Structure 1
Amino acid sequence: AALDAQQSTLTGQLTSLQTSLPQLYPGTARYFLEYPEDIQLYGISFNTELGATGISVQGEVSYRNDMPLQIDDVELLVAGLMPSRPFLADIGTIPVVDTNGDGVPDMGNPAWKGVSMSQLGYQDFNSYVKGHKRFDVWQPQFTVTKLFGPMAGASQWVLVGETAATIVPDLPSKSELRFDGPGTALSGNALAPVILSGAGGHARDRYEPADAFADDFSWGYRLAARFDYTDVFGGVNLSPAVAFSHDVDGITPGPIGNFLQDRKSVTVGVTATYQNSWQGAIKYTEYFGNEQYNLMADRDFLSAVVQYSF
């Protein structure tokens, strides 16, 4: 009887351990910073002036060989949970179909058989889940500068326009592998709300749309103007300026992050110079556009600088 009791106790302890280990496993997962090596950068540039028009033109094309790009962090999170949540590797096993009519799902969806919740596929215990993949990245950039004569009391004024693009020719489609876009806190899998509900989680009727993730092509432009007023008072020169930026289309993969579709900013300010020694500037910058994913939307700021050169 004593032996039977000991065996029963041991069996109960093992059963308890087997039940608790999968719950404890997620706590052993860790994020870590990785610094990929051997990123090579090549570039070619030019600059010229268009005759006597006063227009200067500059351009550059840069090429990064095997640039590491960040995979969507939610895909990494789901992949890290797979050893303790095997149903994530085959969502067809999650009960979402009610065959008995009692309001309780008791069968998986046959159409999802063998489908993984993570685009990174099944991950086993003690796995290293790489958070990036390498791709060739191109970036063309084109700038035009025009210097004007006196206007509106200014001794001169200058206008600058710049446009650029980021191109990743071999970036996979988003249905194959999603790369990180700013502010994408939820899964990009349209089945996520149903799957989480069937797995006993807290379902939300939300997931990130495909256009919230990184694109193979993104571009934008910048405009800036500055007016120079000399000897406004007591030998002080003033240079008010305004700048506007607009990310027109596409989302640049991280960590590059050059463009986020429809993100905009405007900066206004004035710089004062005295005898080429003292300089002070005050500027205000406002961010707006695409507020849902624009992480700078609530970071408008005012800056003031005073400096002395000798």
Structure 2
Amino acid sequence: MEKMVSSASSKLIQWRLWPVYTILSSIISILIVVCANAFQLYDGPDLKVKWDTTVKYSAGFRMDDQDDDLVGSANINADDGDRNFDSGLISNRLDVFSEMDILYQNFGFRISGAGWVDTVYLDDNDNDSPGTFNGTGENDEFTDDTEQLHGKNVELLDAFVFGRGKLGNMPVSFRLGRHTMIWGETLFMAKNGIAHGQAPLDAVKAQTVPGTQAKELFMPTGQLSGQIQLNPNLSLNAYWQYEWRRSRMCSAGSYCSDADMIDAGGERILPGMDTPFGPAYLDRGDDLGAGNSTGEFGESNFENYGVGIRFRSEKIDTDFGVYYVHFNENMPYWIYTVEETPSVTADGFKVGEYFLAFPEDIHMIGMSFGTQIGDVNVSGEISGRINAPLVGTSAFDGTGKNNDDNPAYAQGNTLHANLSAIYFMGGTALWEGANLFAEAGYTDLLEITDNDEAVDDSRDDWALGFRMLFEPSYYQVLPGVDITVPLGLGYNVAGKSPTDLKFNANGADRGGDFSVGVDLTYFNVWKFGIKYTNYFGGSTTQTLADRDFISISVKRTF
């Protein structure tokens, strides 16, 4: 903590904050003028136009220095995100989110987008270990892809048309364009749910903001979706995706990254061997898209679709769902090949290549329910995946293995179940109102169907975890001021998931994360927050054990 308040650190923090101060003041000034009445641009009898823009500033501060056990030689391919940040400023970010809805009678159009700047990722970092740096540039600089994703970027989110009408006497509705369609009842454990097969995940948000609900983690995808209400208690739903998108992982070298070769920013794997020609390494090859072993990547093959039936039993006051989903994986699995004849390059001694593969042709069948027991909303889901990829260490062995009909990674049949509860409480002597959200998740490897030799022996056949969020609230503590105190806890009770390295957002066996914060709302317009996040568990399974941090934020919607 002394380092955080030192004169040198204070000057560095001020220098890094200055560009955001300038940008923030400029954007807010413009939005106050342009968007002061943007909540409802037009409100006619047939045509309605609404435009909202939210501006948010946030900063994060690391509490402790690196743990030697987590940056040692055994973690040479998992330590860049740790070494890149000493205690102190880890994020200095400005976000702008804008959305517009246009409605004409029974049809409409929605578009939204986001942009962000984080000056920490546009500057040099604190990595002073060139021998363990997995990138190909300077060890104290972020890789280009990491800088682009975390440092400054813009993205299109929703962009779709929608409508509703009748087919005979049956109400129908549709959406066409980039949007999110998710089924099931997952509350927190998004990758363990039915919805994982329907949309890519923003894993950056899941790891940097523990306790984020699953519905906020899914990213929109180009698709056609629709619903037919067959009768008041029975509906038929379906979708077909013409766009495939990968999930967003923490980029290599970013603060919450614990895999120096995975996804954006990943460039090399280091076997940890020095040679007369420099360090030995495996270079990153082209990503392997679903159904493709040649490196061509990014085109949809239109194999992501699903159909579901939702029905309600009035007798027991319960909603049920039955679903079938076919999808190509949006999370990467890495595979590698060792060269018969290594080569000397400017970066060292190249001994092979590694690839990020996105497995294909996964079938999922699931069921869900939702009901109310007393004052508690209870819901759950169970699903089975056929041909699912498994966590492992995989290698091309020269026998024609690929990412299509002869994959190098292990595959199997798996079971997934989530059970959740939501309880909206009234006032007590300790709070004026409170919300409790809780979910338990279970995953089980039923059968290995292909490449059992590629399964990671350190993984278990099953894993069990839970996550909860408790939010007591206090109203009008000052004129116009409401306060909420969110308390979050995620814990993996037992097992290392055979299907997910980041099961329950952190993957730690008998470990997890805890957070406590204070959120202040001023006249329902300005929102201020401060939160402390702690990662706990043994250093052998909790890879973020030394990365506790404090975050602060302020935002307003115009």
> TM over 0.5: same fold?
yes
Match of 1:64 among 374, 382, 385: 385
Match of 2:369 in 1: 46
Look up the SS of the partner of 1:296 in the other structure: coil
| 1:176-222 CA distance string (max 9 Å, x none) | 63634xxxxxxxxxxxxxxxxxxxxxxxxxxxxx5xx1122111112
Give the whole-Å Cα distance in 1 for the aligned partners of 2:385 and 2:341: 43
- Asked if 2 retains the 8 angstrom alpha-carbon contact of 1:55 and 1:145, the reply is yes
Shift of residue 268, structure 1, vs aligned partner: 0.5
Question: Does 2:554 correspond to 1:231?
Answer: no
Q: CA deviation at 1:287?
A: 0.5
The Cα of 1:38 is off from its aligned counterpart by 2.3
What amino acid maps onto 1:40 in structure 2? H
Q: TM-score, normalised by structure 1?
A: 0.59
CA distance change for structure 1 residues 274 and 301 in 2, over 3 Å: closer, same or farther?
Answer: same
1: distance between equivalents of 2:400 and 2:361?
A: 24
Residue 163 in 1 paired to residue 440 in 2?
A: yes
TM-score by length of structure 2 reads: 0.34
2:354 match: secondary structure: coil
Residue in structure 1 matched with residue 542 of structure 2 by the alignment: 294
User: What letter corresponds to residue 164 of structure 1 in structure 2?
Assistant: G
Give how far 1:32 is off: 1.3
2:491 — aligned with what?
246
Aligned to 2:359: 36
**1:264–1:289 CA contact under 8 A, matched in 2:** yes
Distance 1:264 1:61 in 2: 23
Identify the range of structure 1 (295-304 vs 38-47) with the bigger mean alpha-carbon deviation: 38-47
SS at match of 2:358: coil
Q: What is the rounded CA distance, in whole Å, between the counterparts of 1:236 and 1:33 in structure 2?
A: 49
* Cα distance in structure 1, aligned partners of 2:500 and 2:441: 17
Out of 527, 543, 552, which is 1:279 matched to? 527
Equivalent in the alignment of 1:188? none
Selected match of 2:426 from 149, 154, 158: 149
Tell me which residue corresponds to 2:146. Answer: none
Residue 376 of structure 2: aligned partner: 55
1:135 — aligned with what? 412
2:387 alignment partner AA: D
- Structure 1 Cα separation of the partners of residues 416 and 340 of structure 2: 46
Per-residue CA deviations over 1:72-111 (Å, capped at 9, x if unaligned) read 26xx4xxx7xxxxxxxxxxxxxxxxxxxxxxxxxxxxxxx
Deviation at 1:44, TM superposition (A): 2.3
1:273–1:40 CA distance, 2 compared to 1 (3 A)? farther
Between the aligned partners of 1:47 and 1:256, the Cα distance in structure 2 is 29
Secondary structure of 1:251's aligned partner: coil
Alpha-carbon distance in 2 for matches of 1:42, 1:304? 41
Instruction: Name the one with the larger helix percent.
Output: 1
**DSSP 3-state at the match of 1:31:** strand
Residue type of the alignment partner of 1:31:
Y
Once the two structures are aligned, what percentage of the paired residues are identical?
A: 28
Q: Distance in 1 between matches of 2:499 and 2:372?
A: 35
* SS of residue paired to 1:214: coil
* Correspondence for 2:453: 177
1:126-180 deviation digits (Å, cap 9, x = unpaired): 86485412222221100122232212352111223221101110148xxx63634
Distance 2:408 2:511 in 1: 26
Mapped partners of 1:224, 1:303: distance in 2: 18
Q: How far off is 1:28 after superposition?
A: 4.7
Do the aligned partners of 2:508 and 2:543 also contact (CA within 8 Å) in 1?
A: no
**DSSP-derived class of the 2:545 partner:** coil
Is the Cα–Cα contact under 8 Å of residues 153 and 229 in structure 1 kept in the other structure?
no
> Aligned in 2, Cα 1:171/1:127: closer, same or farther, shift over 3 Å?
closer
Count of aligned positions: 207
8 Å CA contact retained: 1:60, 1:141: yes
Look up the equivalent residue of 2:519 and give its one-letter code: T
| SS of structure 1 residue aligned to 2:540 | coil
Q: Evaluate the alpha carbon distance shift between residue 284 and residue 276 of structure 1 in structure 2; reply closer, same or farther with a 3 A threshold.
A: same
Alpha carbons 1:269, 1:281 under 8 Å: kept: yes
- The secondary structure found in structure 2 opposite 1:226 is strand
Task: Sort the Cα spacing of 1:257 and 1:150 in 2 relative to 1 into closer, same or farther, 3 A.
Answer: same
Alpha carbons 2:410, 2:453 under 8 Å: kept: no
- More strand as a share of residues: 2
Q: Displacement, 1:286?
A: 0.5
Q: Work out the CA distance in 2 between the residues paired with 1:224 and 1:255.
A: 22
Which residue of 2 is the match for residue 15 of structure 1? none
Equivalents in 2 of 1:283, 1:44: separation in Å?
36
C-alpha spacing 1:298/1:42, structure 2 compared with 1 (3 Å): farther
In the alignment, the residues of structure 1 paired with residue 386 and residue 442 of structure 2 have an alpha-carbon distance, to the nearest angstrom, of 17
Q: Taking structure 1 as reference, are residues 22 and 68 closer, same or farther at Cα in structure 2, changes over 3 Å only?
A: closer
Q: 5+ unaligned residues in a row in structure 2: which ranges?
A: 1-338, 344-348
Q: Cα gap change, 1:276/1:147 in structure 2, threshold over 3 Å: closer, same or farther?
A: same
Alignment RMSD (CA, Å): 2.8
| Structure 2 CA distance for partners of 1:290 and 1:171, relative to 1, 3 Å | farther
C-alpha displacement at 1:275, in angstroms? 2.1
| Per-residue deviation, 1:41 | 3.6
* SS of residue in 2 equivalent to 1:177: helix
Q: Is the 8 A contact 1:71 1:131 kept in 2?
A: no
- In structure 2, the residue matched to 1:107 is none
Looking at structure 2, the residues matched to 306 and 40 of structure 1 have their Cα atoms a distance apart, in angstroms, of 43
* Partners of 1:265 and 1:286 within 8 A in 2: yes
